Every structure is written in C-alpha cells, then in structure tokens.
C-alpha cells in the first residue's frame, strides 16, 4: 500500500526491477515489451481512464480515493499474475488476501470497472455456449469472480475462487463435472496446476473452456505461442475442439477430455505473459 504512493522515479525503478525478475521474456525483447505494454494498455484501460469518462470524481478527496483504489486493484492484479500460491512463495490464499484488509471487494470492483470497457465479455459467450447445450451439464467455474456464470445459466455450477464475497461461491470437493471453465482466470504463474485440477475433476469426454486475454497469446508482443499452449493442454489429456481468435480482446479455446490418458510424459508449459497495468 505505502509502496503504491511512493515517488514517480522510485515507482518507475521498481516497475523495471519487477519486470526484470518476473517477466524475463519481456525483458529480452525491448521492442516486444513496448508493444506488449501498449497492447495491455489498450486492452485493459486504466482505472483512471474509466473514472474520467464514467464516474468522474468531483472533490479532491474523491479523486484521491479513486487513485488509491486503482492502485490497490493494480497491486492485487499484479500479485495474482506474478505469483504462484505455493507455500514456498509464502503467498497462500489467506496470506495473499491479508495484503490489504479490503482486497477482495477492491479487486472485483476494479475488475468490473476494467471489464465495462470491453465491447464483449467472454463470460457471456461461455453462457451462450452452455445455453445451447443441455442444462443438465455440471459446470465448475474456476476463478469465478462474482459468479456471473452461475447466475446466468440453469446448469448446476460450482463457483470457485480465491475470494468469496458472494454467498453463492462455495468451497467444495467436486466430482462429476462435465464442463470446466477458466474465464480470464489463468492468472498465477502456477496455472498448469489449475488445469491439472480441472482435469482431475472432469468426467471423461468433459469440456474444458478457456477464455484468456488476447495479448497473452500473441508471440509478437511477448505472449505465449497458442499452438504450444494447446499442445500442452492436449498432453494433459485433452483434444482441441476449437479455437476462436475472432475477438479483439480475448481468445476462446475449447478442449474435450480424452476418455483415457495413460501418458506420464512431462509437459512443457509455455509461460503466460502477466497482464500488468500501467502505473500512473
């Protein structure tokens, strides 16, 4: 928190240091980094931009509050994208959320502000996909946020998130899941563990739906190669059913779980570029 309100040059220095440690692939290619940064800025407008056009703070105090709130959101977002929740990193669920007492609310409010700028939200496309199928399909929404998916479909949806500020988000031991959804939630550096867990709970021939920020899958701007990513998912025990790159903001990847996967081969997961917000 105090770090966020430090001087401009200190912030810039820290940002550069952070990139050196957390995103070596970006550091290696300065041009790609600049392009990547501008893509992220374009795709995920800063909260200051949002507050200027939508809810313009009138008083000095409100402006300061908006700035602090934007800073909190960026800090939590950056943590989620650049950490794993392994105990070795000492950033378990509770530890992460103890960063700032009001983190859960602030993260989701900030996230909704960002998303209000996207012309189409991937969660709506996933809702439509489900509505076109049987409502008897059981869904696990990994990283559900405000559980919008569960509220928008008739299916039984297990809504799972690091943070539960909604009573419908439950902690559960899942089995019998037909559809596993990751809607913009492959955030941690240990995202392969999330997919392994989805694979574990999914029934054979179940669906795995992934929506992710497009720049994370754009090798021209420091993102992962989508083919390497899809190959890694397939090695986990899936077949690629379809890929949709038509949206400007996000990609949608659809996989089907194979009836059986006997492979014990070690999977080479590509690094997924974190979506870092521009500091003001």
Ligand X SMILES: C[S@@+](CC[C@H](N)C(=O)[O-])C[C@H]1O[C@@H](n2cnc3c(N)ncnc32)[C@H](O)[C@@H]1O
123 is a site residue for ligand X (CB under 6 A): yes
CA distances from 134 to 23, 61, 127, 129, 180 (A): 42, 51, 12, 10, 15
**Nearest distance, CB of residue 107 and ligand X, angstroms:** 7
CB 203 within 8 A of CB 180: no
270 is a site residue for ligand X (CB under 6 A): no
**Nearest distance, CB of residue 203 and ligand X, angstroms:** 21
Name the one range near ligand X by CB under 6 A: 54-62, 184-192, 216-224, 256-264.
Answer: 184-192
111 is a site residue for ligand X (CB under 6 A): yes
Choice from 71, 110, 145, 226 touching ligand X (CB under 6 A): 145
37 is a site residue for ligand X (CB under 6 A): no
Name the one range near ligand X by CB under 6 A: 14-22, 39-47, 181-189, 238-246.
Answer: 181-189
**Nearest distance, CB of residue 163 and ligand X, angstroms:** 5
254 is a site residue for ligand X (CB under 6 A): no
- What is the contact surface with ligand X in residues (CB under 6 A)? 80, 85, 111, 123, 143-145, 148, 161-163, 183-185, 187-188
């Amino acid at each position: 928190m105090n770090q966020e309100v430090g001087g401009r040059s200190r912030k810039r220095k820290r940002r550069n240091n952070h990139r050196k440690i957390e995103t070596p692939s970006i550091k290696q290619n300065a041009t790609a980094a600049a392009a990547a940064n501008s893509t992220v800025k374009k795709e995920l407008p800063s909260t200051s931009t949002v507050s200027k056009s939508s809810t313009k703070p009138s008083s000095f105090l409100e402006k300061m509050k908006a700035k602090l709130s934007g800073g909190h959101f960026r800090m939590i977002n950056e943590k989620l994208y650049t950490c794993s929740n392994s105990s070795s990193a000492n950033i378990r669920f509770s530890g992460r959320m103890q960063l700032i007492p009001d983190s859960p609310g602030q993260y989701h409010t900030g996230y909704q502000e960002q998303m209000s700028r996207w012309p189409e939200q991937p969660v709506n496309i996933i809702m439509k996909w489900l509505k076109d199928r049987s409502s008897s399909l059981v869904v696990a929404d990994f990283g559900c946020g405000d559980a919008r998916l569960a509220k928008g479909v008739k299916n039984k949806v297990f809504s799972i998130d690091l943070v539960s500020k909604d009573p419908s988000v439950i902690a559960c031991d899942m089995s019998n899941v037909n559809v596993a959804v990751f809607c913009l939630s492959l955030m941690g550096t240990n995202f392969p563990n999330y997919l392994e867990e989805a694979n574990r709970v999914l029934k054979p021939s179940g669906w795995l739906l992934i929506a992710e920020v497009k720049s994370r899958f754009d090798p021209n701007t420091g993102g992962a190669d989508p083919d390497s990513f899809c190959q890694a998912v397939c090695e986990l025990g899936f077949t690629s059913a379809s890929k949709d790159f038509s949206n400007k903001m996000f990609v949608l990847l659809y996989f089907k779980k194979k009836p059986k996967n006997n492979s014990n081969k070690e999977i080479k997961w590509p690094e997924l570029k974190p979506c870092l917000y521009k500091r003001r």
